[in-house]
Amino acid sequence: MSSMGAFQCGFFSLFFYFTAVSSSSSSLHPLAADSAMKHRNHTGISEFRLINRRSLLQCPEVNPYLQITVNHANSTLSDEEYVTVNVTGILIPSKFKWVAMITPSSSDVSSYPLSKALYAQTGDLRDLPLLRHYPVKAQYLSNDPDYLSCRKKECKQSNDDGVCLVTTCSASLSFHVINLRTDIEFVLFTGGFVTPCVLKRTSAVSFANPKQPLYGHLSSIDSTGTSMRVTWISGDGGAQQVQYKNGSSQTSQVTTFSQDDMCSSAIPSPAKDFGWHDPGYIHSAVMTGLQPSTTYTYKYGSDSAGWSNQIQFRTPPAGGGSDELRFLAFGDMGKAPKDASVEHYIQPGSISVIDAMTEEVNSGKVDSIFHIGDISYATGFLVEWDFFLHLITPLASHVSYMTATGNHERDYVDSGSVYVTPDSGGECGVPYETYFQMPTPAKDKPWYSIEQGSVHFTVISTEHDWSKDSEQYLWMKNDMASVDRSRTPWLVFTGHRPMYTSSTGVFSVDYRFIDAVEPLLLDNKVDLILFGHVHNYERTCSVYQSKCTAFPFKDQDGIDVYDHRNYSAPVQAVIGMAGFTLDGFPDDVKDWSLIRISKFGYLRGLATRQELKLEFVNAQTKLVEDSFRITR
């Protein structure tokens, strides 16, 4: 790539490896900690995260009464429902028994007798046989509050006098299930996550319509506000349609990706191996002939595969053609289960943030959304993209949902990313770019600009080469220089990794990035810079080269105001507080750091030609905890 390559491979990978392993292993069971020390994926380490390829023991328990069944409303599963898994006939309640949801149901959870050298990237280099397929989610039976105390008793054997000789216990668990297109089953283990062995499994359960078109989400293709792309998932690879605007229709373009498209190395990546799940078919169609800032309805699908519900959506204002733009922005959201399960990677604040933003979208007061990196945190466990897309549907199906790539979408060794950590789990940006088709110049060049209302948004990839005179550097230089400030007076620059943060995490800031790109931002008089990656909210003064060039003043309502009639430097904000476990702040901070909040939330923006108003909204309370204005 560039001269930074040797530095990346020699320093970043070793530093990440040793610091990440030592920091994550201390809270694990010794066997799991030993696994983590062998290798880790720089994603989320927990005992469940390391369950795949764990050594399977011979279950010592012989119990003729033990049964596991699944109850659901119909003989097949709907596109979303809660099912109840019942485990009965338990002789001795144990905190080590747990139930996993597996898909596809044909997965072999008994053993995987090949060379253990293939499994180094799972974190388990010990004894074979090993667990073959990664569970989608799991729950301990102790999630049922009546289980360990055996409040639900059943007599299985009595003597002639009617005295019960064998009493068993039971447990019931609720699992949230969405249409994953492949059959599912539930498997009962004992031994906990560290020393699992299989006791029982249910029969396979199918979805009523594996081809059902689902998870439609919108994005803008240009700055006119007259066209909108809708992308959806289906188990059907035939062309489908989007129908909209009282009789208009467009036929979908269909694509997908396979394991062969995933990245790997000498050590197999999750995406290439045990984390793989068939993504189905990704359909995309562009609705044309629309008017900016206008409400329409649409549905997508086909007569053979099925149709979505009728959905209302709103086009964004045209660039330079509206006095007002209302948008939401955030980074690092991911997803969390809607039941008591553990999953591969959970972002605990995501559901509350999505719920709060859904209220705003439903109120009709949002024109567009910007999600600036670390999108789903699937990191090679492909089924988690489905859970994420399901979670954002109440938002992304109604307004333009624009994205930027982050390290957990793109980074992997020898893949062309700036950073060589395996943070994408082998995805290397392929699922991200397939699900979220932005108006980028080409495949694996995920940078673009778009204008909405009075704002020009320049969206870059911090994971691709941004060094001086690189392709992306020259693009951002030309893009920002070409902005007509009489049409779009506000220039907002967005990407994933920040230039300024008070948090002290490993490589939160890359000073090579600052040295290369920050002068461009000053030269082009960028008003506002939005970054994620660090999981909190932080706002700066007008800052350049780590020094405040100007401070805001207070208006009559006590709100900070940056006067850009006397422009001196951009205002920067970290907005990575939308889901991932929050980062705190040190006691000592630099002068450029004005506001620091470690709470889940999102940024609300209102742009007119006269001012750009931003508010940090606490997702739990819905209250504004920081507000500032940029005027000109």
- Residue range 310-348, pLDDT digits in tens: 999 999 999 998 779 999 999 999 999 999 999 988 999
**Structural domain span for residue 35:** 4-201
108 and 249 assigned to the same domain: no
Q: Which amino acid appears at position 429 of this protein?
A: G
The number of domains in the chain is 2
Summarize the confidence of residues 581-610 as an average pLDDT: 97
Share of the chain above pLDDT 90, in %: 78
My answer on whether omega of the bond before 570 falls inside 30° of 0, hence cis, is no
Asked if 126 and 174 sit in the same domain, the reply is yes
- Quick one: average pLDDT of 227-254? 97
Q: Is residue 336 part of a domain?
A: yes
* pLDDT of res. 269: 87
Of the three residues 152, 178, 201, the one that is the final residue of a domain is 201
- The answer to the question of residue 98 being in a domain is yes
CA distance 404 to 532: 10
Mean pLDDT of the chain: 89
Cβ atoms of 35 and 119 closer than 8 Å: no
pLDDT at 253 over 60: yes
pLDDT at 40: 42
Query: Which domain-ending residue is among 152, 179, 201?
Result: 201
pLDDT tens profile 605-619: 999 999 999 999 999
User: Among residues 201, 227, 262, which one ends one of the domains?
Assistant: 201
Domain annotation covers residue 236? yes
Q: Are 409 and 227 in contact (CB under 8 A)?
A: no
The model's pLDDT over 145-173, given as tens digits with 9 standing for 90+, comes to: 999 999 999 999 999 999 999 999 999 99
Domain with residue 262: its CATH number is: 3.60.21.10
Instruction: Note whether 234 and 189 are same-domain residues.
Output: no
* Whether residue 218 is found in the same domain as residue 183: no
CA distances from 567 to 233, 262, 544, 547, 623 (A): 46, 46, 12, 15, 30
Inside any domain, residue 91: yes
Q: How far is CA 367 from the centre of its chain?
A: 22
Task: For residues 368 and 415, state if they share a domain.
Answer: yes
User: Could you give the CA distance from residue 137 to residue 228 in angstroms, rounded to a whole number?
Assistant: 35
* Closest to 412 in 3D by CA, of 281, 272, 510: 272
| 28, part of any domain | yes
Q: Is residue 206 part of a domain?
A: no
Query: Over the Cα atoms of the chain, what is R_g?
Result: 26
- The rounded distance, in Å, linking the Cα atoms of 158 and 170 is 18
409 and 330, same structural domain?
yes
C-beta of residue 313 within 8 angstroms of C-beta of residue 397: yes
Confirm whether 386 is domain-assigned. yes
Both 102 and 234 in one domain: the answer is no
Question: Would residue 327 count as lying in a domain?
Answer: yes
What mean pLDDT comes out for the span 575-598?
96
User: Any idea which residue has 């995987």 for tokens?
Assistant: 112
pLDDT tens for 293-315 read 999 999 999 999 999 999 999 99
What does each C-alpha distance from 38 to 25, 121, 124, 307 come to in angstroms?
Answer: 11, 8, 7, 48
Amino acid identity of 515? D
Dihedral sign from CA coordinates of 53, 57, 58, 61 = negative
Find the mean pLDDT for residues 135-151.
Answer: 96
pLDDT of residue 322: 78
Contact status, residue 17 vs residue 38, Cβ threshold 8 Å:
no
Q: Are residues 304 and 373 in the same domain?
A: yes
Same domain, 152 and 290: no
Within this chain, do residues 135 and 26 fall inside the same structural domain, yes or no? Answer: yes
Give me the residues paired with residue 197 across strands.
190
Let me know whether 84 and 180 are in one domain. yes
Q: Do 510 and 399 have their domain in common? A: yes
Closest to 441 measured CA to CA, from 479, 399, 497: 479
pTM over 0.85? The answer is yes
